[in-house]
Structures are given as structure tokens and as C-alpha cells.
A and B are shown apart, each in its own frame.
Chain A
């Protein structure tokens, strides 16, 4: 497993802490156009994901891994369909814990 460039688990609120760094998050897709996908983060903030090759068709939930460009935009390198059901609350808690109390367990 390639651990050379770890990505931090973020939700909408945490994204701004990692601007310029590699992050990963799961969004609920609300709209997509050529070259970008707009979605809702697990804490209900809007996130725009730009990049080449989003998978198609897109499922409801999508994980993106990429560089955070601003506090609500990511330039994605990897896209993964996460299916149509997803527990956003759990994921949100994960983000909070991974960057807070249990930071030392992650990056």
C-alpha cells in the first residue's frame, strides 16, 4: 500500500485547514458538469470538485481524493463511486475524530 502521500479525511468545515494539501472526502452529488462535480459534504456544506475524469455514471455518493484548492473546492485526482447509500453521520464523526482527538492515529 502506497503511503507516500497520505490524505486527510475532511468534511466541509475541515477542508480549509488543509488548503494546498492532499485531502479526501465523500460528498453527496448534487450536480455535475463537464469537468466539475458539485456536491454536499457530510456536514452539509457545498463542495466543488474539479478535475478530469469523474466516473460516469455517478452514484449518489462519491469519494474524491485530491488537493484542496480553497475552503470549498478540491482538485481531484481520484474519484470513486461510493454507491447510493452511505452513512454520512458516521463519516462526519470520523472526520472530526481523525483530525481532532485521534489525530495521532492518522497522518
Chain B
């Protein structure tokens, strides 16, 4: 079978009326579709409607009934190439249809040539194809097709006269030079143009590689008929038929749902175009199936024909009042050529300082340096489900830091990556898109379903942040917007006893929970226990003090009952001391038993029932000078007009020397490295006396000492928030640890006898009766770590 090629431009001519019968031209076309329809006049006869293509455009045609058998036999089928030996292009009811009483089938089976698009029934309706210019050269009369050159949508108004409406007038000049790829072989080829609608309005020019030229070969035209592309921001429910070109910035997972109306599935994706317009696209059920696999984040697509509806602001946080819903008429076509004009993502970053004043539940984009990150914890919600949660601290140039909470998958994916980066000493940049502001212990930013996290992104802002951090950010203290950790457990905060007073622990609204490592000095042995109500209240005994009824029974006011046997519970007043200070604490039952090594009841009996003084004293004596890690709850209470800070022992732990030593070594390391990058000394940094503020690691919280140490504190550093203050200043105390005066560092101390290697210590924290150390250097328990 010889090579057949379609008559280029034939459809165009038929459509504009240039060619109406075979007298004008005998075109070779391809049948792209065949459909049987009911003939209106004669319902018994079948008629076939076909779509004819010249490789570029499609047109409706009707097959003459005489030719029906061709279809039935299979000679004529979709894909067949035919020569219209007799036809009429007629306007019926305002539509031009090609009626073909006679044709010749040149090739029965063939693939569809080219990418023909509907030519439209009427000239004026080729909205999608506006601006197409045709450049066809052909030789009249010979019917041998030539090159079909498709000019990409360039508004070459200057080059060739644009023929509006019908293109019947032929510009005589051959201007092969104007089209770089005119076919020179037909020197006198007539440059024809199909009409051009209105000069193309604003649509991006898609430069296409000029199609190769073939002589005597069919057109391999790729008709990319650039549709009329409008900016995303211009979309509205009244837009009519529109096409947008945009990049996918986000794609949600395919979700199944069931609601009162039934079940279904849905997915959505977000688009961003060259003007910065963003919009969300949603697909349901069959449409979702159709497009789900096709959409890839980062790719460019041309999308047309969907419906616009108001955006659901609860879920859709893009800046657009509308969102698109696609249906089966919608088309999505991928653009393979890159378009650098369309960014990959768009952010509207706010500084962390701004967040402070923003409302809760606002959605915001933020970018900052991750100064610390903690491991994932599992939070059990009220409804019983367990969710992973991970928090980190983000700092930026506004001098503020905020806690960013990751939920769900972010914890393990981005969270883990951030953790590894931080552990290796890097401070990565993190950009959060669509994070929600919430108020929980100060302001925090949380991830939501549609959030996206970007680690060390390639943005200008990221560069700026990194530079700022290197220069100053590392050491400049940041005020935290997030006051305390909101974790599920209390993190072990080490303090020295002197810090209780110094930092005014317990004086804020909430109690402070700290751990001190101290020795029991003295135990008050009168009233070491009380008579307690044993009645179970849920899973705990009431434990309220019961009064003696005199008859051997005991009455509890709270339970409003009397019992025969009361419980004995510890209420130990202890004096404990560490190397900085001493204080009195109260220990109750559980801690008491741990300390005493004997139950309260037994001890009571020893003393009062058995009256075994010796044994009693023995026990008491053993307790003195035992050292423990006390977990204390410190709170200020009012006792008849007097404010007193009281400490209760919540838990008592035996010292683990090995672990404690390691911690100490670690703290020393940090102290050393911190001083290696010593900060400018600000004598008047804080509200406190210079000799009072503990600049031990992390306890000042807002300080962001050098890299290594900062990391391990994670949330510790914000512990100072517990004391209810935000340390704002540089905070580096200049109290001299040699003479205890402020204003200079020990290295410059007039009284110093030895060179100081350690840099700064908290001077005044050395207090109490712990004796003096030789050498004039108090050994510092380095703050909290």
C-alpha cells in the first residue's frame, strides 16, 4: 500500500467555506470516528456520522447511505484514510457538515495521524484555537500534499496579515523567509493562513521546536493548539471555558469517605501559576480515579474545563476564594517543556515575631533555623487514639523562637531527618507551609493535614537565615513564644538548691518541678506521720487526716465516715543540702517510705507501740547524710499573710553515680565549648542581680549558647519559662567567681591568683554552709543540663 498522506489544511478550507465540493478539491482525510445515528427523516435507515481529520483539525461529516455497507463490512473504520471523491460541505442549521456520498478508501487500517483537535462547527467558536496560524503550502490543483507547517502560537501580526473571519484572500507573497521553516521546495507555494481569530490575547507563548520538514511526506504536525490560558487568579464561576497552566505544589492522598449521601473517594491537589495565583483542585470518584495517577507534584499541567465553587476555608488555606472541581469533561494535559516562570512553591512567610500577635488557628507559612529538636513522643488523645508528636524550636531573625509541633507522619519522616541533621551538629533551615498557630503554653505552630515541611530549601530566605545564624543567631538569645514544653512527661530539670531562691522558683502561677541532688541533713522525728483515712476513693486512698473519736475509731471529714483502723502516712520534714544551699522539704508517703526504708505504720509502732527508742533512733540516724536525687515540686503558698515557697518531694531516686558523672562531664564539656565561643559580656543583662542569674547551661533558657550544648537541651532551655520569666538580655553574668563581685570576670579579677580556664561561672550561687574549697574556686554545679 503506498504511503498516503492527508491533505493538509483541507478541513480548514472546508470549514471556512473555501472548499465546498470536490470541484474545489479532492482531499484525502482520515476518519477518526464513526458513529451510527438515527436518521431523523427515516428512522429505519441507519446513518453514519463520522469525524474527518486532515491531521490537524477534525470536522463532522455524514456518510452517504450508499456507503453504509463499507462500514458494515469493515472496510471503512475509524482510522481509515479516505479520499473524498464526492462531497458537499453544507451548512445545516447553522452548522457546517460535510456530506460524503462517495469516497474511496485508500487505507483501511491506520493509526490516527497527528493530534487533530475539533475544528469547531462554526468559525467563531474556535475559542480554544484562537490564534492558531496555519502555514500551509500547497500547490493548487495537484492535490499533492506538501509540508504542513504549523506555526506555533506567535502573534506574528507584523509578519503576515492576519485574516480575520474567512481567509479566502490569499496573500500573494510567498514569504518563506518569515517562517523559518517554510518549505523552500515549493518556491511558489502560496502562503496561506488560516484565519486567526482575534489577535491572541494574553497567553504564554510556548515556543515549540519547529516541526521537521518532510518532502512528500505526511504532516506530523503536533498541534499543540495553545488554548487561551488565563491566570489562576482570574478564575471565577463565571469564567466559561477556561484553561490554566500551572504547577502542582501539593497532592493529597486519595481518601475514601462515606457520608449520608453514600460513599466515595476524593483527592485534591494544589496549583500555582506564573502569576503566583494558587488554587486547589478537587476530584471525586471516577474523576479521581482518572486523574490520580496522572498528577505528580512539581509537574506542569494544562487544565481545562472544571467547575468553580467557593473554597472551603476550613481545609483549603490557599489564597483563593474559589476552588476547582473537575468532572469528566475536564482535561489535564502535561506540559513537558519546563516553564521557569512558574515557581515550584509559593510561600508567604511571616516572621516568628509576627506570630506572637497572630490569632489562634491562623494558617501561616514560616521559615527559620532549627535550634533543637526532641524525640517523638506518643500522645493519647481523649478518644483513645495514639498519635506521634515531635517538637522542635525554630528561630529566626526577629529574635524570637517558637515551638513547632509535628504530628503524624511528619514525626518520622521529616522529623527524623531533622534529628539526624541536628545530631550531627548542623542547624538546618526548616520552612513550614500551612502551619496552624495555636495557643498552648504560649504560641506554637502545629502541622496540619495539608502542611508541608521543607528542610534546607533552596530559597533566598533560607540563605539569609543561614548567614544570619552563622553571624549572630547562634549566640543571640531568643525570646521564646512557647513557654514550656508541652510534652507528655516532665523532663528532668536539674537545679541547685540555691537556684530555688535565686530564680524565685515557684513564684509564678504554676508550680515548678525540679530535680536536685542533695543530702539529707536532718529529719524531724516528731510527727513523722499522721493518721490517715484508708477509705478508697477510686484507686487511691483518701488519705485525709482523720480525727480520733476517742473510742478507738477515727473519723474522716471528707468521706464523712468513721473507720476502726486508720492508715499511717508519712509526712516527713527534711532538711536537705547540696553544695550550694540548704532547704526544707516535705516528703509524703511514697517518698517517705523510700527514704526511711520502713513503712510509716511500722515505724509508728516501733516508736509508740513498742516504744523501742533505740531501734527508732537507729533508723533515724541511718537516714541522715544519705544522698538522693529529689524531684521537687516548688510552689509559693500563703500562710496567714505570709508568702512562703514550699517544696514537696514528689519522688526520691537513689543516685546513679555513673549516670550522674556522665551528665556532669557532659555539662563541663558544654561549659568549655560555650566559653570558647564566649559572648559579649553584658553586665546589665537581666532583671536579676548579676550574681544571681545562673548562666549555667540552659537554665537561662533564652540564651542560645554554642551549638553543641544547645542541642542537648532541647526543651530544657525553655525550662526557665517555668520560673515564669523570659530572660531577654544577653544574660551572661559577669560575676567573678573568685571574689564573688560582679562587674568583671574571674580572669580579670583583681583578687585572682590563678589563671581561669573556665570562663564564667555564677558567682553568687555559692552559698550556704558547705564549707570552703581550697584554691578559691568553688566547684560549680553547672546549672541545669
Contacts and interface: CB of A to CB of B under 8 A. Distances in A.
A93 B658 contact: no
Contacts, number: 18
Contact of B775 (A87, A89, A104): A104
A87 B754 CA distance: 32
A105 B661 contact: no
Contacts of B170: none
Contact of B658 (A87, A97, A101, A105): A87
A90 interface: yes
Nearest to A91: B661
Contact of B665 (A93, A104, A105): A93
A79 B661 CA distance: 24
Interface in B635-658: 657-658
Contact of A90 (B662, B754, B757): B662
Interface string A91-107: 00100010001001100
A82 to B, nearest CB: 13
Interface string B744-785: 000000000010010000000000000000010101000000
A101 B662 CA distance: 17
B339 to A, nearest CB: 58
A90 B658 contact: yes
Contact of A104 (B658, B754, B779): B754
B665 A90 contact: yes
Contact of B757 (A87, A89, A93, A101): A101
A62 to B, nearest CB: 18
A2 to B, nearest CB: 17
Interface in A50-107: 87, 89-90, 93, 97, 101, 104-105
Contacts of A104: 754, 775
Most buried by B among A90, A97, A101, A105: A90
B547 to A, nearest CB: 51
Contacts of B775: 104-105
Contacts of A101: 757
A102 to B, nearest CB: 9
Contacts of B754: 104
Contacts of A87: 657-658, 661-662
Nearest to A105: B775
B153 to A, nearest CB: 73
B236 to A, nearest CB: 69
A104 B757 CA distance: 11
A107 to B, nearest CB: 12
Contacts of A93: 661, 665
A89 B668 CA distance: 15
- Chain B, interface size category, equals 10 to 19
A101 B661 CA distance: 17
Nearest to B669: A93
A87 B757 CA distance: 27
B659 to A, nearest CB: 9
A93 B775 CA distance: 22
A89 B661 CA distance: 10
Contacts of A105: 775, 777, 779
Contacts of A90: 658, 661-662, 665
A87 B661 CA distance: 9
A96 to B, nearest CB: 10
Contacts of A89: 662
A87 B662 CA distance: 9
A97 B777 CA distance: 16
B370 to A, nearest CB: 29
Nearest to A94: B661
Contacts of A97: 668
A70 B412 CA distance: 54
Nearest to B658: A87
B752 to A, nearest CB: 12
A90 B664 CA distance: 10
A93 B669 CA distance: 11
Interface string B386-412: 000000000000000000000000000
A97 B658 CA distance: 17
Most buried by A among B661, B777, B779: B661
B500 to A, nearest CB: 27
A105 B779 CA distance: 10
Contacts of B757: 101
Nearest to B666: A93
A93 B777 CA distance: 20
A93 B663 CA distance: 12
Interface in A26-53: none
Nearest to A90: B661
Contacts of B658: 87, 90
Nearest to A85: B658
Contacts of B661: 87, 90, 93
Interface string B140-155: 0000000000000000
Nearest to B758: A101
A87 B664 CA distance: 14
B675 to A, nearest CB: 12
Contacts of B779: 105
B780 to A, nearest CB: 12
A93 B657 CA distance: 14
A90 B657 CA distance: 10
A105 B665 CA distance: 16
Nearest to B659: A87
A104 B662 CA distance: 22
Nearest to B757: A101
A104 B756 CA distance: 11
A10 B490 CA distance: 39
A67 to B, nearest CB: 26
B672 to A, nearest CB: 8
A6 to B, nearest CB: 13
A105 B777 CA distance: 9
B132 to A, nearest CB: 78
A60 B668 CA distance: 29
Interface string B710-753: 00000000000000000000000000000000000000000000
A101 B757 CA distance: 8
B666 to A, nearest CB: 10
Nearest to B664: A90
Nearest to B661: A90
A101 B658 CA distance: 21
Nearest to B660: A90
B658 to A, nearest CB: 4
A93 B754 CA distance: 23
Interface string B657-689: 110011001001000000000000000000000
A104 B661 CA distance: 20
A97 B657 CA distance: 18
Nearest to B754: A104
A107 B622 CA distance: 33
18 contacts: A87-B657, A87-B658, A87-B661, A87-B662, A89-B662, A90-B658, A90-B661, A90-B662, A90-B665, A93-B661, A93-B665, A97-B668, A101-B757, A104-B754, A104-B775, A105-B775, A105-B777, A105-B779
For the complex of A and B, the 10 pairs showing the least CB-CB separation, nearest first, are A87-B658, A90-B661, A93-B665, A101-B757, A104-B775, A104-B754, A90-B662, A90-B658, A105-B775, A87-B661
Given A87-B662, A104-B754, A105-B775, 7 more contacts: A87-B658, A87-B661, A90-B662, A90-B665, A104-B775, A105-B777, A105-B779
